[in-house]
Amino acid sequence: MHTQDETGHATILVLNSGSSSLKFGLFQQANGDEALLLEGSAQGIGRDDGSLRIKAPDGRVLEEQAHVLESQTDALQKLTRVLAEQNEVRPTAVGHRVVHGGPHLRTHQRITADVRRQLQDATHFAPLHIPPALALIDEASAIFSDAQHFACFDTAFHATLPPRAAQLPLPRRYAEQGVIRYGFHGLSYESLVAQLGDDLPARAVFAHLGNGSSVCALRDGKSVDTSMGMTPTGGVPMGTRSGDLDPGVLLYLMRTEHLDANALETLLNRHSGLAGYTDGESDMQALEKRAAAGDASAELALDAFATAVRKTIGAYAALLGGIDLLVFTGGIGEHSEAMRQRVCDGLSFIGLSEHDPAGRVRAIHTEEEKQIARHCRALLESGGQSA
């Protein structure tokens, strides 16, 4: 095996881990941008219905297996074996999507021993995300020991937030400890900015709607506000996450049900949001079918979700002084026309509608893996310095 393709360009493997999935893409440079060689995903990690699929750039399925995938590292090992059978190119670089880097890691960068230590120290900022990310980094570093490894942070795009958006209404000493608004889905939002290019207007709102959902206000392509806060639990209600709550609710639960931090974390991240409204159902397609059949709890979940997103868009219209473009992305944002319609109902006062002939409302597929590959190539060219 070799570490570069025949044109001499570095080959970059991107690992994009989710709560129960691992997506990957293998890229090389062509015509000034990243070109996909292979892509794939392991779905249902930790469940009996886990699966592994690898596809060619044209969508042809090259490999499909049914597995019980016990963990992210187990999924990576299986992906690596199939990747070796499908392609002889070993990556020069591996790019890792990292949801949260804490207060000190806010730029994409090469993973060194010091960066890994800082990630470990930041675990309390994202205890559900950082430990599995570190385990995946360690496993990938062992498998691809001859490659450079880079961390690309979902929070990096939001480093442009002004103080009024970033600082929380708490005593200043907490901000100095890193208790601020970070914002997430930054790699998704970056990919939309790259795709739109010169077509991106001065005032835009992006809505990444999926199992995790957030909304972002952009001025001249820069993030100026976003719905998620210090953690990906904040903002609009999501599949299993609560979104924003009156802090008094948490105090009430602590006092009356004696919930500790771990129990609250499980409640807010695993059993709330759409799942909370419906006693466990968080899948958008399933909820839409239930609502169409007259299920009142499913209808409430859909209405509450759409209303929260619409309210946030309306707030950002006031912040920006109007909206020139509204973009939906993510699994729900891209594929559910019914949810886009629900969100847009009531936005005609600012000139937005799902069937807007002027093209001010669009659904665009996010390209997180390609965006990570772009950052990795830039970091390779700069010697691994922050980009």
Q: Is 220 a catalytic residue?
A: no
The b/e string for 27-52 (b: 16+ C-beta within 10 A; e otherwise) is bbbeeeebebbbbbbbbbbeeeebbb
CA atoms within 13 A on the CB side of 26: 24
Q: What is the pLDDT of residues 63-93, one digit of tens each?
A: 888 877 788 888 888 888 877 877 667 899 9
Record the pTM.
0.94
Find the mean pLDDT for residues 166-185: 97
CA atoms within 13 A on the CB side of 319: 23
pLDDT band at 237 (very low <50, low <70, confident <90, very high): very high
Of 387, 362, 339, 33, which Cα lies nearest the Cα of 196?
362
Q: Is the pLDDT of residue 280 over 60?
A: yes
> Distance between CA 131 and CA 170 in Å, rounded?
28
The predicted structure's pLDDT at residue 88: 65
Domain 12-153 matches domain 198-363 at the CATH topology level? yes
Percent of the chain scored above 70 by pLDDT?
A: 96
The token pair that represents 204 in the structure block: 């835009």
Q: What is the pLDDT of residues 130-165, one digit of tens each?
A: 998 999 999 999 999 999 999 999 999 999 999 999
> Distance between CA 72 and CA 138 in Å, rounded?
11
Contact assessment for residue 208 and residue 330, using Cβ atoms and an 8 Å cutoff: yes
Contact assessment for residue 226 and residue 194, using Cβ atoms and an 8 Å cutoff: no
pLDDT band at 2 (very low <50, low <70, confident <90, very high): very low
The predicted structure's pLDDT at residue 5: 45
Find the mean pLDDT for residues 12-25: 87
Tell me which DSSP letter residue 161 carries. -
The predicted structure's pLDDT at residue 387: 46
pLDDT band at 52 (very low <50, low <70, confident <90, very high): confident
Q: Is the pLDDT of residue 17 over 70?
A: yes
Pairing of strands 325-329, 222-226: unpaired
CATH number at 12-153: 3.30.420.40
Give me the residue spans of the domains in the chain: 12-153, 198-363
pLDDT band at 19 (very low <50, low <70, confident <90, very high): low
Residues in the chain: 387
Q: Is the pLDDT of residue 100 over 90?
A: yes
Percent of the chain scored above 90 by pLDDT?
A: 77
Tell me which DSSP letter residue 9 carries. P
Own/partner pairs, 378-384, CB within 8 angstroms, 24+ separation? 379/93, 379/108, 379/109, 379/110, 379/150, 380/10, 380/92, 380/93, 380/148, 384/109, 384/110, 384/148, 384/150
The predicted structure's pLDDT at residue 386: 59
Top CATH class of 198-363 equals alpha beta
Q: Is the pLDDT of residue 3 over 80?
A: no
pLDDT band at 20 (very low <50, low <70, confident <90, very high): confident
Q: 280: phi > 0 → left, psi -120 to 50 → alpha, else beta; which? A: left
Of 215, 186, 213, 194, which Cα lies nearest the Cα of 99?
186
The predicted structure's pLDDT at residue 1: 38
Q: Is the pLDDT of residue 243 over 60?
A: yes
The predicted structure's pLDDT at residue 7: 39
Lowest model confidence (mean pLDDT) among 87-96, 243-252, 298-307: 87-96
Q: Is the pLDDT of residue 6 over 50?
A: no
Chain mean pLDDT for the chain: 92
Q: What is the pLDDT of residues 325-339, one digit of tens each?
A: 999 999 999 999 999
Lowest model confidence (mean pLDDT) among 17-26, 104-113, 235-244: 17-26
Catalytic residue among 48, 58, 121, 154: 154
